[in-house]
Structure 1
Amino acid sequence: MEIQIKIIGGVLILLALFHIIFPKYFNWKEELNKLSLINKQIMSVHTIFIALTVLLMGLLCVTSSRELIETNLGSTISFGFAIFWTIRLFIQFFGYSTSLWKGKTFETIIHVIFSILWLYLSTVFWLIYFN
């Protein structure tokens, strides 16, 4: 299980770094100009903090995988991570419109990949918590 946590850590670090390209990829300069200043800044600030949270989760997994598995505190943290990623899994299906990916090859592939990733993260953290 320790190797699974280290793999998850690496994936989460990459996912956090991937947020760097969001503004350009999603054309935020033009898209966010349609929003009020507060909404534009909330979008930017929340994206930074989501990326930071994911990065810190990843670093914790890479640096403290054994502690996450073998200690009571690690079990509690894994419980929190399990809840976090399980909610993210549900949001993948119920928070986004299917029109964003259905019938679009690339978007469908991304949807499936991230659905599997959220399921994997949730499952590993639930297994740690219940063991």
Structure 2
Amino acid sequence: MLVQLKIIGFLLVVLALLHAAFARYFNWRAEFAAVSLINRQMMYVHTFFVAFTVLLIGLLCLTSAPELVGTPLGHRLALGCGVFWLARLAIQFFGYSTQLWRGKRFETAIHVVFSLLWTYLSAVFLWVGLN
């Protein structure tokens, strides 16, 4: 399980860093031009904090995998992370419209890749948290 947590740590750090490109990739400048200042800034701030949280979870896995696996507090933290990523997996299917990806090769591939990633993260964290 230690190796799995290290792999997860690496993947989450990469995912957190990818958030830096969201505004440019999704063309937020043009997309949010008509949105009020508070809504535009909330989007940027919330994206930052999601990325920051993902980064911290990744760093926790990279630096404290033995503690996650071997201590009661580690199990509770892992269980919390497992519930977090399980909720993210549910949102993948129930929070986003299939119109965003169905029939589009690249978007479908991204949907599948992230569905598998959320499943992997959920399974490992729940396994650690419940054992």
Which bracket does the TM-score occupy, shorter chain normalised?
over 0.9
Residue 106 of structure 2 corresponds to which residue in structure 1? Answer: 106
Q: TM-score, normalised by structure 2?
A: 0.99
Following TM superposition, by how much is the alpha carbon of 1:33 offset from its aligned partner in structure 2, in angstroms?
1.0
Is residue 2:22 matched to residue 1:22? yes
Residue 71 of structure 1 corresponds to which residue in structure 2? Answer: 71
1:49-86 CA-to-partner distances (Å, cap 9, x unmatched) read: 00000000000000000000000010000011011000
Is residue 2:61 matched to residue 1:61? yes
Residue 119 of structure 1 corresponds to which residue in structure 2? Answer: 119
What secondary structure is seen at the aligned counterpart in 2 of 1:103? coil
Tell me the number of residue pairs that the alignment of Structure 1 and Structure 2 aligns.
131
What secondary structure is seen at the aligned counterpart in 2 of 1:33? coil
Residue 40 of structure 1 corresponds to which residue in structure 2? Answer: 40
Unaligned runs of 5+ in 1: none
What is the CA–CA distance in structure 2 between the aligned matches of 1:59 and 1:34, rounded to whole Å? 37
> For the aligned residues, what is the CA RMSD?
0.4
Q: Which amino acid aligns with 1:97?
A: S
Q: Which amino acid aligns with 1:99?
A: Q
What is the CA–CA distance in structure 1 between the aligned matches of 2:88 and 2:34, rounded to whole Å? 27
What is the CA–CA distance in structure 1 between the aligned matches of 2:45 and 2:82, rounded to whole Å? 24
Percentage of identical aligned residues:
58
Unaligned runs of 5+ in 2: none
Residue 92 of structure 1 corresponds to which residue in structure 2? Answer: 92
Following TM superposition, by how much is the alpha carbon of 1:118 offset from its aligned partner in structure 2, in angstroms?
0.1
Following TM superposition, by how much is the alpha carbon of 1:130 offset from its aligned partner in structure 2, in angstroms?
1.5
